[in-house]
Structure 1
Amino acid sequence: MTHFTGCFRQLALAALLGLTAVAAEAQVDTNLASVAPADNKEAAGPWSGTLAAGYAKTSGNSDSSAANFKGEGRYDKERWHHILGATAIGTSSAADRDSDSVTTAEAYWAGFKSQYDITNAYYGFGSIDWYKDRFSAYDQQLYEAAGLGWRVLRGEVHFLDIEVGAGAKQADLQSGGDQNEAIGLLRGIYTWHIGENAVFVQKLAVLSGSDNTYTESISELKAGIIGSLSMVLGYTYKHNSDVELDTSLDIPRPFDKTDTYTTISLEYGF
Structure 2
Amino acid sequence: MRIRHSVIVAAIAAAPLAHAETGDNWKGEAELGVLISSGNTDETIVNGRLGLAHEVEKWRSTGELSSKYSETENETTAEEYRASAETDYKFDERQYWFLRGAYEDDRFSGYDFESSVTTGYGNRVWQSGDRSFLDLSAGAGYRYNKLDMVNAEGEDTEKEAIARLAGQFDYALSDNALFRQKLSTEVGLDENNTITESETALQANVVGNLSMKAAYRVKHVSDPPAGSESTDKELSLSLLYGF
Instruction: Assess same fold via TM > 0.5.
Output: yes
Alignment correspondent of 2:107: 134
Q: 105-114 vs 47-56, which deviates more?
A: 47-56
User: Following the alignment from structure 1 to structure 2, what is the Cα–Cα distance between the partners of residues 236 and 121?
Assistant: 27
Would the aligned equivalents of 1:170 and 1:180 in 2 still touch at CA under 8 Å?
Answer: yes
Aligned position for 1:169: 143
1:203 aligns to 2:176 (yes or no): no
| Alpha carbons 1:108, 1:133 under 8 Å: kept | yes
TM-superposed CA distance for 1:175, in Å, is 1.4
1:123 shift after superposition: 0.5
In the alignment, which of 86, 92, 95 is matched to residue 65 of structure 2? 86
Distance 2:44 2:181 in 1: 23
> Which residue matches 1:234?
215
Offset from partner CA, 1:50-82 (integer Å, 9 cap, x none): 0010047xxxxxxx8621001101111221111
Structure 1 runs (4+) greater than 6 angstroms displaced: none
CA distance in 1, matches of 2:112, 2:59: 33
Which has the bigger relative contact order, CA under 8 A and spacing at least 6?
1
The one-letter code matched in structure 1 to 2:226 is L
Equivalent residues in 2 for 1:244-255, closer than 5 Å: 244-246=225-227, 255=228
Equivalent AA in structure 1 for residue 113 of structure 2? Q
8 Å contact from structure 1 (residues 219, 236) kept in 2 = yes
Structure with more strand by fraction: 2
Q: Which has the larger radius of gyration?
A: 1
Q: CA offset at residue 159 of structure 1?
A: 1.2
Among 55, 58, 66, the residue aligned to 2:45: 66
In the superposition, the TM-score normalised over structure 2's length comes to: 0.83
1:89-142 CA-partner distances (Å, limit 9, x unpaired): 012343xxxxxx432110111011100110112001100000111111323110
Instruction: Mark the runs of 5 or more structure 2 residues left unpaired by the alignment.
Output: 15-22, 36-42, 151-155
Counterpart for residue 155 of structure 1: 128
Counterpart code for 1:139: D
Provide the aligned length of Structure 1 versus Structure 2.
218
The structure carrying a bigger helix percent of its residues is 1
Q: Could you tell me how far 1:4 is from its partner in structure 2? A: 5.5
RMSD between aligned alpha carbons? 2.4
Choose which of 226, 244, 256 in structure 1 pairs with 2:229: 256
Aligned residue for 2:18?
none
Letter in 2 for 1:82: S
2:108 is paired with a residue whose SS is coil
2:92 to 112, 115, 119: 119
* 1:3 Cα deviation from its structure 2 partner: 4.3
Matched, 1:190 2:169: yes
- Provide the rounded CA distance (Å) in 2 between the counterparts of 1:137 and 1:73: 30
Q: Distance in 1 between matches of 2:34 and 2:146?
A: 28
